[in-house]
Amino acid sequence: MRRSILLTPGPTQVPEEALAIASMPIMHHRTPQFEKIFAEVEESLKYVFQTANPVLIFTSSGTGAMESTIVNTLSPGDKVIVIVGGKFGERWAEIAKAYNLNLIQLDVPWDQVIDVDRLKKTIEENPDTKAILTTLSETSTGGVTDIESISKITKDKDMLLVVDAISGLGVTNIKTDEWGVDVVIAGSQKGLMIPPGLAFVSVSEKAQKFMENSKLPKYYFSWKKSLKNLDKNTTPWTPGISLIMQINEALKLIKAEGLENVFKRHSRLSKAIREAMLALNLEIYNKNTGDTCTAVKVPEGIDGEKMVKICRDKFMVTLTGGQDQLKGKIFRISAMGNVNENDLMLGVTVVERVLSELGYKFNKGSGVAAAMKSLEEQGA
Amino acid sequence: MRRSILLTPGPTQVPEEALAIASMPIMHHRTPQFEKIFAEVEESLKYVFQTANPVLIFTSSGTGAMESTIVNTLSPGDKVIVIVGGKFGERWAEIAKAYNLNLIQLDVPWDQVIDVDRLKKTIEENPDTKAILTTLSETSTGGVTDIESISKITKDKDMLLVVDAISGLGVTNIKTDEWGVDVVIAGSQKGLMIPPGLAFVSVSEKAQKFMENSKLPKYYFSWKKSLKNLDKNTTPWTPGISLIMQINEALKLIKAEGLENVFKRHSRLSKAIREAMLALNLEIYNKNTGDTCTAVKVPEGIDGEKMVKICRDKFMVTLTGGQDQLKGKIFRISAMGNVNENDLMLGVTVVERVLSELGYKFNKGSGVAAAMKSLEEQGA
């Protein structure tokens, strides 16, 4: 008998309402019935993206939406500044290289996020930069970048601020229009709480102007085709119909809770996670860890891969390990999306049990006590 | 109270087994548990694709997989022959243009399919052609192209035969390896009977050689990245996890029925549809109509768009109308995928009722009688 829990930074647990509708008979997408649902989804997405601009919907993973941004706003040889402080910053750099852009790569140690003054200096030295490509929540490290401060530098310049918010949107605040973020990218399987397969891109007026001059080749990910079809509440290609139905349900839940409350909930649970880990004498990996995902250093002598495996296979709690240079060295625990207090508390008990099984010495129950205390102190 | 029926060439009705699993809690994709399912899906896909070569899995619509073929096998300026006898042939031409290929476009009247001798001549006149881009089942017209004959021309030449089989695979026969088709493309929402959102590409050894020399830019749709991950039973980017679970169920059903029987079933039901339409004195649009989708000319004086609308909104049977130049002039009816005899018979009664409502004169019940007779004569 299994009843698994995901404390992962995507895919996240799908709410029951969004699971149930996936088992309904499929409807055809070229019908007024579907277009009505599509229009509802678009309106809800604008609410969650905090934008009045169009939010494009692609059937792809978030990576596809990242690529769409490059091919629709830029031309070969364009200068871009890419901030690389983890696996998803690396992805920006890889896509930029694949399309022969002129890449200025700002490498940041994975346990930190970009220093905004350093970025500012680089922008000043490179006034011909067309776009800053960065990451709101670097899922691989837990670091959350200060997008608000960056937006103040780029807002009035003729360059785009492009933010991969795939694991941040609907989790931690990003005020797209108020801050002046030109492109915000999200995926369906993180804060938006449905299975992977849809990706979203908000497009500012400035970004739409860049689109008019872009010379990189594109077809499936064409923003122009997507924008043209958005006006008719549809997509140029057959969309992930069942996923659209599912996200409509998930977005209703987010709207009912209210976006500010969603952020507060994530903040409260994430704080409790951090307190629990610290109480176990574990170290938080990234100095700018936010409320999206907490990367925790695996104690000396413990095999991090093995720890994650036992949590999942013996105790049915899925955490994630480290990627690439962090493989075996960190584990990641997250209250992203549809995670409640019971899930979190159970997760902490499992971390304690598995660390104990692997020979780590600590006061049993101290993590659970700290999480409980944190939740109590923060109020309901 | 509604109980809708889809007699459409995609999306097609999802079998109950594949609907049910979509409401199960999501699992994480970077786990041995998911990789086992992924491996099962890959093995089943090879069976349905009739190939021993890899079948790549993309989270996208079929159009994305078409684009993937161009960007992974070709270089700017490469000469390609594109057969355009409908909306999906046009799509090949559009993608080829978007990537600056040297395009030889063979236009075919939409009520026909390509004459193989004409194609042969064009190939002989253009021995430097790198790829033939064509369509197995032209969903917009119902025409089915003779891929076997084309494959005899291309098999031993240094050029690729690329077939969009999006609405053909698992419906009508395409012997990928035996005929020597280099690239076969499919989507999840047609013969494979699950919601849209996954696309598939089989890649011959010849196509893999072309891949090594391809210079067009790519990232999300990179075959190399996909092939590398396929060996580890995964994908480079987060896949449509719930859709993978669903297609595993649908593929089990196809394997249990047996591919030959699946083709026979489609052939039998499609023949009954054609007989019914002819009995109503309606004309079949395409001279090479196959067993995938039947386009039927709307009788003089009847509004085809209105007919499709009434079928759907009043009688809960979804057919599809014509696209572009055929808008209002044809309706399309299909027994693709999870359609049984009762669905088909009900569909014919609804076509009769709506044509009658719109003032078309015919012997009431003659369509139903012809379908019944056809099914009886063809045996169970």
Q: Confirm or reject contact between B22 and chain A (CB < 8 A).
A: yes
Mean of pLDDT values over A255-262:
98
pTM for this model (two decimals): 0.98
pLDDT digits (tens, 9 = 90+) for A301-354: 999 999 999 999 999 999 999 999 999 999 999 999 999 999 999 999 999 999
What secondary structure does DSSP assign to B299-325, as a single string?
A: PTT--HHHHHHHHHHTT-EE-EE--GG
**Secondary structure (3-state) at A219:** coil
Q: Confirm or reject contact between A219 and chain B (CB < 8 A).
A: yes
Show me where the domains of chain A are located.
5-10+258-378, 16-257
Residues A174 and A136: beta-carbon distance below 8 Å: yes
Token pair, residue A349, equals 């008990």
Chosen for mutation from A16, A57, A61 (greatest number of chain B CBs closer than 10 Å) is A61
For tokens 């969009």, the residue is B164
pLDDT at B130: 98
pLDDT digits (tens, 9 = 90+) for A280-299: 999 999 999 999 999 999 99
pLDDT at A380: 76
Beta carbons within 10 angstroms of residue A232's beta carbon: 10
Token pair, residue B274, equals 């054609």
CA separation for the pair A23, B18 (Å, rounded): 8
Contacts with A10 from chain B: Cβ below 8 Å: 238
Contacts with B95 from chain A: Cβ below 8 Å: 219
CB contact under 8 A, B238 and A195: no
Asked if pLDDT for residue A1 goes beyond 90, the answer is no
CB contact under 8 A, A67 and B219: yes
CA separation for the pair A143, B327 (Å, rounded): 53
For tokens 């399912």, the residue is B37
Amino acid at A8: T
Q: Which of B26, B63, B95 sits opposite A13 (nearest CB)?
A: B26
- Output the CA torsion B355→B9→B153→B221 (10° steps): 150
Mean of pLDDT values over A48-53:
98
pLDDT digits (tens, 9 = 90+) for B313-346: 999 999 999 999 999 999 999 999 999 999 999 9
Looking at residue A284, the DSSP 8-state letter turns out to be B
Mean of pLDDT values over B189-195:
98
Chosen for mutation from B5, B24, B28, B235 (greatest number of chain A CBs closer than 10 Å) is B28
Q: Confirm or reject contact between A143 and chain B (CB < 8 A).
A: no
With CA atoms as reference, the chain A residue closest to B316 would be A27
Angle at which helix B62-73 crosses helix B223-230, to 10 degrees, equals 100
Contacts with A11 from chain B: Cβ below 8 Å: 26-29, 238, 241
pLDDT digits (tens, 9 = 90+) for B34-73: 999 999 999 999 999 999 999 999 999 999 999 999 999 9
Q: Which of A64, A196, A243 sits opposite B220 (nearest CB)?
A: A64
Amino acid at A52: A
Q: Which of B19, B59, B243 sits opposite A23 (nearest CB)?
A: B19
CA quadruple A74, A75, A80, A82: dihedral positive or negative? positive
Q: Which of B31, B195, B217 sits opposite A312 (nearest CB)?
A: B31
Q: Which of B95, B196, B219 sits opposite A240 (nearest CB)?
A: B196
Share of chain A above pLDDT 90, in %: 99
Q: Confirm or reject contact between B322 and chain A (CB < 8 A).
A: no
Angle at which helix A259-279 crosses helix A241-257, to 10 degrees, equals 80
Confidence of residue B79 (pLDDT cuts 50, 70, 90): very high
Show the CA angle centred on residue A318, arms to residues A315 and A319, nearest 5°.
120
Q: Confirm or reject contact between A218 and chain B (CB < 8 A).
A: yes
Q: Confirm or reject contact between A316 and chain B (CB < 8 A).
A: no
Q: For the structural domain made of A5-10+258-378, what CATH number should be given? A: 3.90.1150.10
Q: Which of B60, B217, B240 sits opposite A220 (nearest CB)?
A: B60
For tokens 């079948």, the residue is B55
H or E stretch covering A144: strand A143-144
H or E stretch covering A59: strand A55-59
Looking at domain B16-257, its CATH architecture is 3-Layer(aba) Sandwich (3.40)
The CA distance from A149 to the nearest CA of chain B, in Å, is 30
Amino acid at B180: G
CB contact under 8 A, A61 and B64: no
pLDDT at B380: 76
Share of chain B above pLDDT 70, in %: 100
- Secondary structure of B211-222 as H, E, C letters: HHHCCCCCCCCC
pLDDT digits (tens, 9 = 90+) for B111-161: 999 999 999 999 999 999 999 999 999 999 999 999 999 999 999 999 999
- Output the CA torsion B116→B118→B120→B123 (10° steps): -130
CB contact under 8 A, A98 and B61: no
Burial class from Cβ neighbours inside 10 Å (0-12, 13-18, 19+) for residue B258 reads: exposed
pLDDT digits (tens, 9 = 90+) for A165-221: 999 999 999 999 999 999 999 999 999 999 999 999 999 999 999 999 999 999 999
pLDDT digits (tens, 9 = 90+) for B80-94: 999 999 999 999 999
Q: Confirm or reject contact between A25 and chain B (CB < 8 A).
A: yes
Asked if pLDDT for residue A158 goes beyond 90, the answer is yes
CA atoms within 13 A on the CB side of B296: 28
Cα Rg of chain B, angstroms: 21
**Secondary structure (3-state) at A332:** strand
Show the CA angle centred on residue B96, arms to residues B90 and B100, nearest 5°.
140
Average pLDDT, chain B: 97
Contacts with B312 from chain A: Cβ below 8 Å: 28, 31
Taking the alpha carbons at both ends of chain A, their separation in whole angstroms is: 32
pLDDT digits (tens, 9 = 90+) for A172-184: 999 999 999 999 9
CB contact under 8 A, A6 and B23: no
pLDDT at B67: 98
For tokens 């580890």, the residue is B232
pLDDT at B1: 67
CA separation for the pair A136, A144 (Å, rounded): 6
**Secondary structure (3-state) at A127:** coil
Confidence of residue B302 (pLDDT cuts 50, 70, 90): very high
Q: Which of B94, B197, B217 sits opposite A98 (nearest CB)?
A: B217
CA separation for the pair B314, B358 (Å, rounded): 13
With CA atoms as reference, the chain A residue closest to B100 would be A217
Taking the alpha carbons at both ends of chain B, their separation in whole angstroms is: 32
Asked if pLDDT for residue A88 goes beyond 70, the answer is yes
Q: Confirm or reject contact between A241 and chain B (CB < 8 A).
A: yes
Confidence of residue B209 (pLDDT cuts 50, 70, 90): very high
Cβ partners under 8 Å of residue A31, min gap 6: B312, B318
pLDDT at A2: 75
